[in-house]
Amino acid sequence: MSIADTPTKHPVALALEEKIRSRTARAGVVGLGYVGLPLAVEFARAGFPVTGIDVSERKVGDLNRGVSYIQDVPSDVVAPLVAGGKLRAVTDYSAVRELDTINICVPTPLRKTKDPDMSYVVAACEQIVKHLHRGMLIILESTTYPGTTDELLLPELEKSGLRVGEEFFLCFSPERVDPGNKNFQTHNIPKVVGGVTQSCTQMGALFYSQALKTVVPVSGTRVAEMVKLLENTFRMINIGLVNEMAIMCDRMGINVWEVIEAAATKPFGFMPFYPGPGLGGHCIPIDPFYLSWKTKEAGIEARFIELAGQINGHMPHFVVDKVQKALNDCGKPVRDSRIHILGVAYKRDIDDVRESPALDIMLMLKRLGGRISYTDPYVPSLHVDGIDLESAPLESSLEDADCTVIVTDHANLDYEMVVKTARLIVDTRNALKKWPAPHVVRL
């Protein structure tokens, strides 16, 4: 018998369980971004009536028209759910009064001081508690530090006078969205969930099991919160290691890509990670610092995290240095050189530019006097951090550029044409592995 099937005895719990099993529970999702919208769609597809709550009137309006603004969620999936009354969106938290479950999927950014900004979570919780009623399941999915659910949400929700584990149920479940991944999406990525009490864990696991393929219950919220941080810290540190290896290999005249490829033939004890121009997205560059901040409270220094952060943060500077040297070898300074950036999304085949290293690279080259342009089939325009550009036609841009920098290796680009057309290329992703040429400079 799984933990999700274990019967609970309290009448309120039994009533909520019955609603969940019959899929008549009215589900709510707070925050309709890259995490919240896919989750809302999965529960609506499973038959639950779903209400999304978001402060953005644009998102709410688009969704109620059946229009998706998230690349991984096609409009032709959203539209019939809206038309069938299974999915709707509102800006008013009073809708909470009608709901049985709520998943909180709001942003948790870092401040400039690298401590967590919990204002979005706190604001959502303050609104929810105004309308909290008996028999509700609340699940936080926003990535955060261990202890957030117990220390921040629970006291706020208990102001309602309701008892956790009996009259309402509180869990944490880390989001595991991987934008652009065709093989693993919300419905088939295993879902970890931990509750404040055992009955909370049971309720959360039961709820997720109605719409998602695999549910992994853990002993509590702190374990579930730490799971997410371990996953992304693991990636961050290993990327930091291989980025440092790339810098060392560059100084010693060794092809780091060949080194990694050969090392990856070892059938045990090695997992290949690859260098790049820097970390991007909302998770890997940010999440490990929640853990670093929290451990400082306990008097522990997270040295691996801090060091990896420094190395990864240096990579855009390393790329700019490569561009400067490549142009210098051609007798050109960066100033007044036409430098074309190929790919500005933070990873291949997506339209997300959050924390993209391309932005730092473009700004640094611009400050050095470079004349910057870019092409990205997924990002038609870029208006952020002092950059105000439109994506330019590729072939003519390559012909005009003094140097082309491959920052994001989108799969649908004609790289053979890039090699034949561009005068000078700095390839930060090994995208031109099949087309070695003397005018190609690799990371």
Q: Which residues contact 325 (CB under 8 A, 6 or more apart)?
A: 441
Ramachandran angles phi, psi of 132, nearest 5°? -65, 140
The single-letter DSSP state of residue 393 is P
The enclosing H or E element of 420 equals helix 415-421
Torsion of CA 193, 196, 202, 206, to 10 degrees: -50
Give the position of tokens 């629970």. 154
Measure the CA–CA gap between 140 and 173, rounded to whole angstroms.
6
Q: Helix 303-329 crosses helix 287-297 at what angle (to 10 degrees)?
A: 140
Measure the CA–CA gap between 215 and 186, rounded to whole angstroms.
12
Residue 283 among the catalytic residues:
yes
Ramachandran angles phi, psi of 169, nearest 5°? -130, 135
Measure the CA–CA gap between 349 and 370, rounded to whole angstroms.
27
Q: Is the dihedral of CA 274, 278, 280, 283 positive or negative?
A: positive
Q: Which of 105, 171, 249, 283 is catalytic?
A: 283
Q: Which residues contact 277 (CB under 8 A, 6 or more apart)?
A: 315, 316, 319, 357, 358, 361, 407, 428, 429, 443
Give the position of tokens 């999440």. 287
Copy the structure tokens of residue 62: 């688009």
Active-site residues, by number, are: 283
